Amino acid sequence: MADDKGISRRSFAVGAAGLAALPAAATAKPPKPAPIPIGKPFILTTWNFGPSANAVGWPMLAGGASSIDTVEAAINHVEEFGDYWVGADGVPNEVGETTLDAMILWGPTHDIGAVGCLKRVRRAISVARKVMEETQHTLIVGDDATRFAARMGFTETSLTGPKSQAAFAKWAATHSKSDAFGPEPRGQSDTLRAHDTVGCIALDAAGNLCVGCSTNGREFKIPGRVGDSPIPGAGAYGDQAVGGAVATGNGDVMMRFLPTYHAVELMRGGMHPQAAAEAALRRIADAGYSIGGGIAVIRRDGVHGAAKTGWDEVPFDYSVQTASGNVTVPVA
């Protein structure tokens, strides 16, 4: 007797018998990779502000602070640093307003907090942490993120400054519209300038992992745009049992492929961090996209690696600080 899907009891039994007859090697599950040992404390931060951010975070780790406090402090340093691509007085959107994206992930509970298109509040990573610790939500965006921040005690202030005003005025004088209205970068390279999303990964003395990132996002973006930075698995990702990864570059494309999630899962399967970073970016290129981007990856035992694509002339690097000192690694 057949069911409504046309599969008879006899055909099911024959199929089951066939499976039972397969050699054991064909049906056996592949062996699980050996657990990754927990390494000694470290902090990794991307781009050329890595050394100064690590100089803020490392004394905290060395003094016994948690990795979440360390990542927040290191990223706060960059947000207040005055870089054009991160924090106040940075990249304006199509109408001249600066908005911020940020995310933080706490390894022990795999809890995440994020804000997107945050307006009029500095230190976006700290607002993201409040989302994680004070609510059951993961992501809050736009003016509602600003209202949430005010509710949490953050002060509203203009994010516009001399650099952002000058950049917007120069661009507005060209009477151009956002390049986000252009064709997708398939078969042709994107026209975006390289930009410095800050990504940070830390492991504390208790073995707790934390990952975070913060950015102003794409230059002259369409108002309301949220990039990859506050999207788990896109701009940043981590797993307490494996390690973490952070990304930078053309977030509008990169977020479609979840490269940081991909890299962490490749490490979980036993792949070296360097190879995992390269494979995560290769998947984007294999889909036909020609973009600029980079990814830095570190296992929880402290082994790290990175890769970039489309940035032949862009000096992307990252810095790692341990008890042995700080090392800055240029990415070829």
Number of residues written out for the chain = 332
Catalytic-labelled residue, pool 45, 46, 98, 197: 197
Active site residue 160: no
Confidence (pLDDT) at 22:
52
Residue 179 DSSP symbol: G
In whole angstroms, what is the distance from residue 104 CA to residue 107 CA?
10
Contact 47, 198 (CB under 8 A): yes
Those residues with Cβ within 8 angstroms of residue 121's Cβ, 6 or more apart along the chain or in another chain = 100, 127, 145, 146, 149, 150, 154, 155, 156, 157, 159
Architecture of domain 44-321: 4-Layer Sandwich (3.60)
What are residue 42's phi and psi, to 5 degrees? -150, 160
Residue 204 DSSP symbol: -
Confidence (pLDDT) at 27:
57
Which residue ranges make up each domain of the chain?
Answer: 44-321
Mean pLDDT per 10-residue section of the chain, whose length is 332 residues: 44 46 58 88 97 98 98 97 92 97 98 98 98 98 98 97 96 95 91 87 98 96 97 98 98 97 98 98 97 97 97 94 98 94
Extract the runs of DSSP E, i.e. beta strands, from the chain: 42-46, 99-106, 111-119, 139-141, 198-203, 209-215, 236-239, 243-249, 293-299, 304-309, 317-322, 325-330
Confidence (pLDDT) at 116:
98
pTM over 0.85: yes
